[in-house]
Chain A
Amino acid sequence: MKGKRLLGMITFCAIFGLIFATTNTLMAQKVPEKIIIGHPEGMSGTYAKAGEQAIGGVRACIKWVNQTYGGVKIGGKKVPLEYKYYDCESKKEGVTSLIERLITVDKVNVVFAPYSSGLTLAGTPVAEKYKMLYMDHGGASDRIFQQGYKYIVQTIGPGTRYHMGTLDMIRKIDPAAKRVAMVYEDDEFSRMVLKGAEDHAKKLGFEIVFNRTYPGKVTDLTPVLSDMKAAKPDIVIGGGHYEDGQLFCRQMGDLDINVKALSLVASATLPAFHNALKSLAEGVMGPSHWEYGVTYSVEGAKKVNLGWIGPSQDEFVKLFKEALGKDVIPDYHAAEAGAQVLAYALAVEKARSIDPTAVRGALGELRFMSFYGAWDVDDTGLQVGHSMVDMQWQGGKRVIIWPPEAATGKLYYPMPTFGDKAKGKMAVPK
Chain B
Amino acid sequence: MIGAQLTGNLMQGLILGGIYGMATMGLSLIFGVLKVVNVGHGAFIMIGAFITLWIFTAFGLAPVIAIPVALIVGMAIGFVFFYLVMRRLIKAPELASLLATFAIGILLEEIAKLIFGSEFRGYNWAVGKIILPITVFPMSKIYAFIGSIAIALLLYIWFKKTRAGTAVRSVVEDSEGARVCGVNVGWVYALSFAIGIGLTVTSGVLLTMFIPVGINPYMGGGYTLKAFVIAVLGGLTSPYGAFFGGLIFGLIENGSYTLFALIPGVEAFAMTRFLSFLILLLILLIKPTGLLGAK
* Contact flag (A, B; Cβ within 8 A): yes
Binding site for B on A (CB under 8 A): 44, 46, 48-49, 52, 186, 212-215, 217-220, 222-224, 226-227, 230, 242-244, 246-247, 250-251, 254-256, 267, 272, 275-280, 422
Q: Is the CB of B257 within 8 A of A243?
A: no
Q: How far is the CB of A75 from chain B (nearest CB, A)?
A: 43
- Which secondary structure dominates where chain B touches chain A? mixed
A-contacting residues, B241-295, CB 8 Å: 253-254, 257-258, 261, 267-270, 272-273
**Which B residues lie within 8 Å of A247 (CB)?**
211, 213-214
In the complex, B166 has a CB within 8 A of chain A: no
Q: How far is the CB of B92 from chain A (nearest CB, A)?
A: 28
Q: How far is the CB of A209 from chain B (nearest CB, A)?
A: 14
A-contacting residues, B123-162, CB 8 Å: 123-124, 126, 129, 131, 135-138, 141
In the complex, B16 has a CB within 8 A of chain A: yes
Q: Is the CB of A278 within 8 A of B270?
A: no
In the complex, B184 has a CB within 8 A of chain A: no
**Which A residues lie within 8 Å of B272 (CB)?**
223
- Which 9 pairs, one residue from A and one from B, show the smallest C-beta to C-beta distance? A276-B122, A243-B214, A223-B257, A246-B213, A214-B269, A48-B118, A278-B124, A217-B222, A222-B12
Q: How far is the CB of B52 from chain A (nearest CB, A)?
A: 13
Contact A224/B269 with A256-B131, A275-B122, A277-B124 known, Cβ cut-off 8 Å: yes
**Using a Cβ cutoff of 8 Å, how many contacts connect chains A and B?**
114
Q: Is the CB of B123 within 8 A of A227?
A: no
**Which A residues lie within 8 Å of B261 (CB)?**
212, 227
Q: Is the CB of A254 within 8 A of B141?
A: yes
Contact A212/B121 with A223-B257, A227-B261 known, Cβ cut-off 8 Å: no
Q: How far is the CB of A282 from chain B (nearest CB, A)?
A: 12
Bound together, the chains give a CA A226 to CA B118 distance in angstroms of 30
List the one stretch of B1-9, B171-179, B189-197 in contact with chain A: B1-9
Contact of A230 among B5, B12, B124, B212 (CB under 8 A): B5
In the complex, B238 has a CB within 8 A of chain A: no
Q: Is the CB of A276 within 8 A of B222?
A: no
Q: How far is the CB of B132 from chain A (nearest CB, A)?
A: 11
Q: How far is the CB of A246 from chain B (nearest CB, A)?
A: 4
Bound together, the chains give a CA A254 to CA B129 distance in angstroms of 8
Contact of A222 among B9, B213, B267 (CB under 8 A): B9
Bound together, the chains give a CA A222 to CA B121 distance in angstroms of 20
Q: Is the CB of B124 within 8 A of A279?
A: yes
- The digit string for B210-227, where 1 denotes a CB below 8 A from any CB of A, is 011111101101110010
CB nearest to B109 among chain A residues: A44
In the complex, B120 has a CB within 8 A of chain A: yes
Q: Is the CB of A254 within 8 A of B138?
A: yes
CB nearest to A424 among chain B residues: B126
Q: How far is the CB of A221 from chain B (nearest CB, A)?
A: 8
CB nearest to B254 among chain A residues: A223
Q: How far is the CB of A333 from chain B (nearest CB, A)?
A: 13
Q: Is the CB of A215 within 8 A of B123?
A: no
- Which of B119, B126, B213, B254 has the most chain A CB within a 10 Å cutoff? B213
Bound together, the chains give a CA A44 to CA B113 distance in angstroms of 9
21 contacts between A and B (CB under 8 A): A48-B118, A186-B269, A214-B269, A215-B267, A215-B270, A222-B254, A223-B9, A223-B12, A223-B257, A223-B258, A230-B5, A242-B120, A243-B216, A250-B211, A250-B212, A250-B213, A276-B120, A276-B122, A276-B214, A277-B122, A422-B126
Bound together, the chains give a CA A165 to CA B130 distance in angstroms of 37
